[in-house]
Amino acid sequence: MLRALGFALFAALCGLFVATRIELRTPITEFLPVGKQRDAIELARELANAPQARTVAFTLQNGDAGQFAEALRKSGLFAWVRGGVSEEEERAFYELAFPARLGLLQIAGEGPLSDAELAARVASLRERLSGPWGMLERRFAAEDPLGSFSALLAAQLKTRAQLTMVDRQLVTSDGQWQVVFAATKESAFDTAAQQRVEQVILAAVPKGATLEWSGLSRYALLGEKSVRGDIERISSLSVIGIFVLYLFVFRSLREPLLVLLPIGFGCLVATAACQLVFGYVHGLALAFGSSIIGVAEDFSTHYFAHRLVAPESESNDALMDRLWPGMWLGALTTVAGISTLFASGFRGLEQMAMFGALGVVAALICTRYALPPLSRRGVAHKDRPALQAGARFLDRMAARPVLALWFVGPSILFMLAGAPKLRFEDSLKALRTTSPALDAENARVQQRLGLPAKGQVVVVLGDDDEQALARSEQVLQRLDGTLSLRSVSTLLPSLATQRARRARVTEDATFWPRLEAALTQHGFVPAAFEPFAKALHEPAVELTPAELAKSPLASSFLAPFRASLAGQVAYLTSVESDHDLGPELAGIPDAHYIDQEALYSAAYRDFRTRTLWLLAVGLVLVLGVLLARYRSPRTAGLGMLPALLGAGAAMGVEALRGVPANLLHVIGVLLVLSMGVDYGIYALESQQHGADDGVTTLGSVLLAALTTVLSFGLLGLSDNPALAAVGSTVGFGLVFTVLASPVVLAFTRVERR
């Protein structure tokens, strides 16, 4: 009883810790591979947490976008909100860029400007003065006849993609939607913060207006709500199902209540450990791990089933001692299978592995030391007709092995029928809760904004801004003309480039006389451009990232492009291409082309292949353990038979259902093997002593399988594809596993005799 009280006290402490400290998150980035080297995968992971990932784009119809933007600002939840260009931003742009205009001059080639280039520039000036922006051009022409500031204004407009400006408000090209951009202060994957953000956004929508918006946070919230709902639904239904099933079998409230004790204890310990180690609990790990710990009730089921038929003279502790070798051996194989996920290279899978492994161990220990003192003594019922019929059936199968086909035949048929239709699909979509409505809205917003839809980006790294900007310029030169290319280098050249551009006009003694001649030729009075001639001899003024960061232009000039990645300064160039741009970047130091879908698909494909090898290694290890325990290849093979048949048949069923297999199905197979071996071990252990004729073990295996299939079957109904894949694979797999268990019992009866 003292042990039971000790478990209760420890459980209370874990419960208090979880209740006061638990933080549930669902960041999909935790299911991206961990790279030890600074490669595209690791950069993609960091990009998902970069400031750019916190950006939200709003399109508003039939409402006041200014009022909407102001409400967002007042909430205090956004780092910045931008719906147009204010007078303050226009003034800051002029004050920073115009004095640096000579360094921002964009002219192809090197060396002094040719006469032809000067003539073209002067001709362009005449066109601009007579164009729709003529009044604005007249303000700058005397100091900027080459149009460097005008070109910069045009480049800034280009970064707006398809957007235009009406009364200082950004609107879509068709004039139907007003546009507002904002960035949340907290991470897009901080669902608690993003729930508050969503409430503020919905409350800020003007009455009668239509809002459609796009942002990574919406998918994070969708995943969190879906997983949280799955956890509540699955855990509740599982507990109710297990309780009702136990109540029917044992006809007593004691066993149904006690069987929940190891499950609850394992969940508490695993949740507390994940919160302590990782700083939060991933929603998928909690849902997945809770179902994994459902296998922990196999231990108590095995114990209670034997307690029901064991003689009253056999104490609870003695019975537990008799069953303990099979329990710990089964737990060992389960934990060994789950623990292979630690080598996955995916933080999310590592947390799932830790949750499942610790939960199973905690549940096993709770079963071993807490259940015997709390259990009632059983009364042997070996004369029950069901037990006698079961014993006769096993004897008959042992005498006529052909009967085993009725139990292994379905598994073999599903494997053979499904194998030709089995296909793999490696994609991040296998982990993400889908919403056709949200996907459609996101696509509409992106189309209105004219932004790339494929999530392709080129990242350049540098030790400082100057180095990174120089490399960004090289990327722009290589990829100029690529669809939807947006680069900081069109607005902010490196200091070296600014100095080189300025030198092309200030260090050329013939420049001003030749420009005067070109101006005269096109009907201008050169004396009117004396301010420009004077500027050629003034100290150089340069535009720097530091100045932009301190100005009102930070959100429009720097925020979309600059980040801190891999401990370095990074500049991003968004692109859209139908082919791999990596080869075109060859030779540019620390330039990485990132196509997220392609990268993640390749990573999951590699891990799936690696997991299949881990499965093979794990099976060899399990076989070695069984050989060491039973000293018989035939017996060891029989112990593994149910799990192998269950895993193969489960994949066959998924293939026949037309479900493409992915990484999570492979993990499901891993779980079927690691848990299914338990049933074979229980069957083998029942034949190691004369106190069990195997029928009781068969009943306990059937009951344990029903409860586990119940848990995972409900998981298979999840809206989250990852949970559904694991749930359906394990659910089907364990059905076929338990179907093959009588074969193990029947054939080992022959060996025992």
| Residues 601-641: tens digit of each pLDDT | 777 777 777 777 777 777 787 788 778 877 888 888 888 88
Query: Quick one: DSSP state of residue 178?
Result: E
Query: Quick one: DSSP state of residue 403?
Result: G
Q: Which residues pair with residue 460 across a beta bridge?
A: 571, 591
DSSP alpha helix (H) spans, 282-346: 283-293, 297-309, 316-339
Residue in 404, 324, 406 with CA at minimum distance from that of residue 372: 324
Task: Give the pLDDT score at 345.
Answer: 67
Q: Which residues pair with residue 719 across a beta bridge?
A: none
Q: Is the pTM of this model over 0.75?
A: no
Task: Give the pLDDT score at 390.
Answer: 59
Indicate the pLDDT class of residue 340, thresholds 50, 70 and 90. confident
C-alpha span between 9 and 35 (Å, rounded): 41
C-alpha span between 52 and 115 (Å, rounded): 44
Task: Give the pLDDT score at 347.
Answer: 76
Indicate the pLDDT class of residue 427, thresholds 50, 70 and 90. confident
C-alpha span between 475 and 469 (Å, rounded): 10
pLDDT in tens, 430-445: 667 778 888 899 889 9
| pLDDT of 563 above 60 | yes
Indicate the pLDDT class of residue 545, thresholds 50, 70 and 90. very high
Greatest mean pLDDT among 160-174, 188-202, 423-437, 694-708 lies in 188-202
Give the sign of the dihedral formed by CA 212, CA 217, CA 220, CA 224: negative
pLDDT in tens, 489-539: 888 899 999 999 999 999 999 999 999 999 999 889 989 999 999 999 999
Work out the mean pLDDT of the chain and round it to a whole number: 81
Query: What is the CB neighbour count within 10 angstroms for residue 456?
Result: 23
| pLDDT of 744 above 80 | no
Indicate the pLDDT class of residue 203, thresholds 50, 70 and 90. very high
| pLDDT of 33 above 70 | no
3-state secondary structure of 458: strand
Strand 178-184 versus strand 55-61 pairing type: antiparallel
HEC secondary structure over 51-63: HHHHEEEEEEECC
447: Cα separation from own chain's centroid: 25
Higher pLDDT, residue 427 or 195: 195
- Give me the half-sphere count of Cα atoms (radius 13 Å) on the Cβ side of residue 653: 20
C-alpha span between 449 and 451 (Å, rounded): 5
Q: Taking the chain, what is the end-to-end CA distance rounded to the nearest angstrom?
A: 40
CB 609 within 8 A of CB 424: no
Residue in 431, 426, 411 with CA at minimum distance from that of residue 348: 431
CA dihedral 435, 440, 446, 450 (to 10 degrees): 160
Task: Give the pLDDT score at 37.
Answer: 41
pLDDT in tens, 69-123: 999 999 999 999 988 878 888 888 889 989 999 898 887 778 888 889 889 988 8
Helix 511-521 with 115-129: angle, nearest 10 deg: 50
Q: Which residues pair with residue 683 across a beta bridge?
A: none
How distant, in Å, are the alpha carbons of 45, 296, 535 from that of 168?
A: 36, 63, 31
Contacts of 478-482 with CB under 8 Å at 24 or more apart are: 478/584, 478/585, 478/588, 479/573, 479/575, 479/581, 479/584, 479/585, 482/575, 482/576, 482/577, 482/581
DSSP alpha helix (H) spans, 376-425: 385-399, 405-418
Residue 172 backbone zone (phi > 0: left; psi -120 to 50: alpha; other: beta): beta
- Give me the half-sphere count of Cα atoms (radius 13 Å) on the Cβ side of residue 720: 30
Strands (E), 435-492: 456-462
Indicate the pLDDT class of residue 466, thresholds 50, 70 and 90. very high
Task: Give the pLDDT score at 623.
Answer: 82
Indicate the pLDDT class of residue 36, thresholds 50, 70 and 90. very low
Q: Give the whole-number percent of the chain exceeding pLDDT 70.
A: 87
Q: Which residues pair with residue 214 across a beta bridge?
A: 57
Q: Residue with structure tokens 């006009």? A: 505
Indicate the pLDDT class of residue 251, thresholds 50, 70 and 90. confident
| pLDDT of 383 above 50 | no
Strand 562-565 versus strand 210-214 pairing type: unpaired
Indicate the pLDDT class of residue 666, thresholds 50, 70 and 90. confident
| pLDDT of 381 above 60 | no
Lowest-pLDDT choice from 23-37, 139-153, 543-557: 23-37
Mean pLDDT of 373-392: 61
Indicate the pLDDT class of residue 38, thresholds 50, 70 and 90. very low
- Rg over alpha carbons for the chain, rounded to the nearest Å, is 34
